[in-house]
Structure 1
Amino acid sequence: MDAATEVADEVDVLVVGAGPTGLMLGTELALGGVRVQILERRTAAQRDSRALTLHPRSIEVMDQRGLVERFLARGRAVPEWHFAGLATRLDFSTLDTRHGYTLFLAQARTEQLLTERAHELDVPVRRGYEVVGLRQAADGDGGRDGKQGGRAAADGVKVDVRGPDGGLRTVRARYVVGCDGGRSAVRRAAGIAFPGTDETLTGALGDFAVVDPAALDHARAAGVLVAPLEADGPTDGPANGPSEGRTGGLTRLVLIDPRRMRTPSTEPLTPEEFRSSLVDICGTDCGVARPRWLSRFGNATRLAARYRAGRVLLAGDAAHIHFPAAGQGLNTGLQDAMNLGWKLAAEINGWAPPGLLDSYHAERHPVGQAVTENTEVQTLLMELTLLPPYQRPAAALRTLLTELLGIEEVNRRLAGRISALDTVYPPTAADADPLTGRRMPDIALTADGSAAIRVHELLPHGRFVLLDLAGDEQLRQTVTPGWGPRVTALTVTHHDHRTDLDGVREILIRPDGHIAWATRTPSLPDRRIERHRALTDWAGASAQG
């Protein structure tokens, strides 16, 4: 085995799974100066893609890390999305973001771009390695690490790994994060419960090199999802774009066949069955031929009882699985990684304030629960229309909901939920400002000492950003000596006007772009006391004591 594929025996964090969540987490940890290694069971990158979209909040996350142009160059913006396939679409273009659209981009391409990012940050991604067991030390009950740098903690986690040659080895890590999917070996080995419901409904998807473009309108009208894909897997056009059936390309068809919707997702799907389903649903087989990938997917819905068990954490599908309604799974995983990365890096580096790492579960578990619940609702709205006893009332219900989505406020509320732009992390202080926990808007600004012209351009290094909107001449003298490596302090001389920022004097932005603290206190001495407390609560104790 050469050095390029050698597995390190000791690391700070072992990430298991090189899908989008694991890759994103690995790069976030690297930004925090953590020795991280990613292990992946598969020997090659995934060629076929279940997920096809990046929603607005995920695009904002890429923007905050200076990566958004790479993704925009490979995808296609779609300003509208859907909820349960209802006729009235969710309008992302009206949301409070610079990225009011879904980016139509297949998972294989997303993984490729994140793998490139991992290589840039020297994050090793080792393929062909399967986790077969792990053991935590006696302190693996959630206690603070308290160690800085050096070798992997003796009281950390020992992970048993089977390599490409079938041999077993042990990797020691201070923390392990399972990003290894719904059948997570890490979750099982850590003894984390995964309650929920088993599969009762399945759909089918097929990627075909040959289709009849003239028949696709019939398929869409019958409720079949049609999506053009690149020849190598990722998508490059909108679901209703002109590229279907082009030479060298692929077209994805996704359907739920009432006659076959109870077929277990583990049962192989044949081209003949897929054609038969198309004929049953829309009266034509759409001329499909030369399938590259056929697969079933089910509605099993589960949410990990806890996202942390001592020194083992979960993210992405290892923590939550659900029917792929409205394309939320991959996006939720990316945002899990964005929330966890900086917190785990803080713990590894020894400056995390008490409770910071536990806040990962406190903040992201409710998000996972909300996603699993809304996908169950969407699945039910689709399934009822396929059951003869309920078809008439289900159709009436869908008509009513379609009309309600025509109300601007209702549409915006649901669009905010599916896009994840409405995610607000609960404040820990009773007197917290209303902005606390919300996404920091990407306002245009001018700040002394910075070339950035908007907020997201201040965040690529994964540090806290303290914005002084009131002009404290002693800002840097009071912040930099104590928190300089962790916090960028800037005096803002101009910024876009927003009513929700009226009266705000200072804002502390977390590395993930959410607001940790904001104050409207007019007294400068009082504000400095508040600032010191907020920095200590979020960015740890001052280096000056």
Structure 2
Amino acid sequence: MTVEETGVLVCGGGPAGMMLGLLLARAGIEVTVLEKHGDFLRDFRGDTVHPATIRLMDELGLGAAFRALPQSRLGNLSLPAPDGTLVTLGDFGTLPAPYDHVAMVPQWDLLDLLAKAAGEEPGFSLRMETEATALVRDGNRVAGVRYRTSGGREGEIRAELTVGCDGRHSLLRREAKLTPREFPVPFDVWWFRLPRPPAERGAPAGLTPVALGSELLLCLPRPDYYQVAYLTTKGSDARLRREGIERFRARVARLRPDFADRVDQLASMDDVHVLDVKLNRLRRWYRDGLLLIGDAAHAMSPAGGVGINLAIQDAVAAATLLAGPLRRHSVTVADLAAVQRRRQPPTVIIQGAQRLLQRVMFATRPTDRRSGPPRALLLLLNAFPGLRAIPARFVGFGPRPEHAPAFARRSHRLTRP
């Protein structure tokens, strides 16, 4: 078995892993990222890039290249009132330009951009089609991982620090015997695409869920199609698939009559992809030699679309706090604990807000009446319109936004994805 060495080993080439790899490489640290797939092309991943992340891309000198990626803009966050009118809950127009919107960017394009930027650094290595299979230990300390390539070759990579960015089903987390605390989620999500004709493209589209009884539909506009989320009672996948595509089309058209002319684009239930929604977090994000961030440390509900941005913020904090100890080759458990201390509070706050939003909008409702936000909230927003800036800032930047560390900042020099 081949045994190799690197400075930092990052397992998982998602947003957290690629951002951490880029930042540490810019700090002059040797870093290797393992990604089990051969490319980043996967549908229905988190594609909402919030203002805090857009600002971060500017700080890294990647703003022009980011804006050149295919994308659409989400406007205000609105909720339907019981009388059929729309109530603006979060007004992104109150945020400072150019960070006054949420960008819908295919995640594979964002990851390709980060990979290209990281590849310009001499200490960075990205190894595709390479999957971590087990932790390597040196006594009680995690010293790296064993891996297997898509071709079946096996090996071992040892590192001063191993970082698990391998998602909500994290193998590294399981290997380290770290068990997350699970929170109840009353719904699952079924993702699918519907056409977006040219007449419906152009101006930023608002983010407005439509609720009816125990069902909810949310549309995310893409340049030439809608990414649609259908939400209903958790554990309903088998029943929906038994009912078949005709019944599912009828459900969609009932919630959005304006989509009745295009639901036949769903040929079968194979075009509908279920997400088993999880909401959890670890009590401890680390072991000696191992740190977990992003979904590996805290799986987020899709409410608010904040998962990708929270994972990136974790990566920025980790790079900022650990670059010095890594340069000195002196990373301790206390250094890893400092990352959790910084990032756990915003995680707890955001998950608390998601749980509240679930109770307000997503919990099962026994009636067929169109529902909406609490009447007290509607009265408050009508009486004090300025309050709409608070949800926009909370969603857009979060309770503790991170800035790029000085060692990672560059001028706008990378202009093409």
Same fold (TM over 0.5): yes
Q: 2:297 — aligned with what?
A: 319
Q: Secondary structure at the match of 1:251?
A: strand
Contact 1:211 1:251 in 2 (8 A): no
Distance change >3 Å, CA 287–CA 14, structure 1 → 2: same
| Partners of 1:225 and 1:311 in 2: CA distance | 41
Q: Secondary structure at the match of 1:224?
A: strand
Q: 1:276 — aligned with what?
A: 250
Q: 2:134 — aligned with what?
A: 133
TM-score by length of 1: 0.63
| Partners of 1:390 and 1:228 in 2: CA distance | 27
Which structure 2 residues correspond to residues 45-444 of structure 1 after superposition, within 5 A? Answer: 45-74=40-69, 75-81=71-77, 87-95=87-95, 98-122=98-122, 123-138=124-139, 140=141, 157-197=143-183, 199-208=185-194, 224-229=217-222, 236=223, 249-257=224-232, 261-264=234-237, 271-272=245-246, 274-283=248-257, 285-288=260-263, 289=265, 294-350=272-328, 355-384=334-363, 386-388=364-366, 395=372, 397-406=373-382, 407-423=384-400
> What CA deviation, in whole Å up to 9, does each residue of 1:365-403 have, x standing for no partner?
11111222211211221224x5126969x64x5333234
Q: Secondary structure at the match of 1:388?
A: coil
C-alpha RMSD of the superposition: 3.5
Contact 1:182 1:318 in 2 (8 A): yes
2:21 maps to 1:30: no
| Partners of 1:343 and 1:309 in 2: CA distance | 16
> What CA deviation, in whole Å up to 9, does each residue of 1:108-135 have, x standing for no partner?
2222221222222252221222222103
Kindly indicate whether structure 1 or structure 2 has the higher relative contact order, using CA contacts under 8 Å at least 6 residues apart. Answer: 2
2:410 maps to 1:461: no
| Partners of 1:24 and 1:40 in 2: CA distance | 13
Where structure 1 has 5 or more consecutive residues not aligned to the other structure, the ranges are 1-6, 141-155, 230-235, 237-248, 425-438, 441-455, 464-545
Name the larger-Rg structure: 1
Percent of aligned pairs with the same residue? 24
Where structure 2 has 5 or more consecutive residues not aligned to the other structure, the ranges are 410-417
Contact 1:343 1:352 in 2 (8 A): no
| Partners of 2:110 and 2:379 in 1: CA distance | 35
Contact 2:77 2:88 in 1 (8 A): no
Shift of 1:461: 3.4
| Partners of 1:372 and 1:206 in 2: CA distance | 25
Letter in 2 for 1:113: L
Distance change >3 Å, CA 160–CA 265, structure 1 → 2: farther
Contact 2:129 2:150 in 1 (8 A): yes
Distance change >3 Å, CA 121–CA 273, structure 1 → 2: farther
| Partners of 2:125 and 2:194 in 1: CA distance | 34
Q: Secondary structure at the match of 1:70?
A: helix
TM-score by length of 2: 0.80
Contact 1:178 1:312 in 2 (8 A): yes
Contact 1:202 1:265 in 2 (8 A): no
Letter in 2 for 1:401: L
| Structure ranking higher in strand proportion | 2
| Partners of 1:265 and 1:113 in 2: CA distance | 38
| Partners of 2:174 and 2:112 in 1: CA distance | 28
Letter in 1 for 2:134: G
Distance change >3 Å, CA 187–CA 64, structure 1 → 2: same
